[in-house]
Amino acid sequence: MLWVKSLHIIFLVTWFAGLFYLPRLFVYHSMAAAGDREGIERFKIMERKLFFGIMTPGGLLTVVFGLWLWVGTRDAIFGTWLYWKLALIAALVVFHLYCGKLLLDFKYDRNRHGHVYYRWLNEIPTLVLIAVVILTVIKPF
């Protein structure tokens, strides 16, 4: 079971790296000058590769290995803290899908938000990660 935990952590770190970095790319992309077509196209490529090549596989494998760990534990792990943690993970999945929607908006030049919006959006995964770690380590309820 140690190898499952190790893979889960590797994919979790991969997923969070993408969740932290993609909104940051959106910040820079939204600040790019309209006439800088080459720069804008470069951002589109970087965002697409990050989302489909790193974030999505990392997120899917994180969920798969997390469920494997949960189901595979000998002692049934339950408690209110776990339901809150699962709710936060579900919120991260929704955030991931929302980033995919924003990616499509940038792809088709339909961005409706400024860089400040994306700077705030960039903080959401950080707050969720802190809450998940606190729930997992402290198990307050």
Are the CB atoms for 7 and 65 separated by under 8 Å?
A: yes
* CB atoms inside a 10 Å sphere around CB 50: 18
pTM: 0.91
Q: What is the pLDDT of residue 137?
A: 87
Question: Which whole number is the average pLDDT over 7-34?
Answer: 95
Number of domains comprising the chain: 1
Q: What residues contact 63, with CB distance under 8 A and at least 6 apart?
A: 89, 93
CA angle 74, 76, 78 (to 5 degrees): 155
Structural domain boundaries, residue 89: 2-138
* CA Rg value for the chain: 17
Average pLDDT of every residue of the chain: 92
Q: What is the pLDDT of residue 75?
A: 55
Are the CB atoms for 27 and 106 separated by under 8 Å?
A: no
Side chain identity at 110, as an amino acid letter? R
CA–CA distance, 101 with 88 (Å, rounded to integer):
20
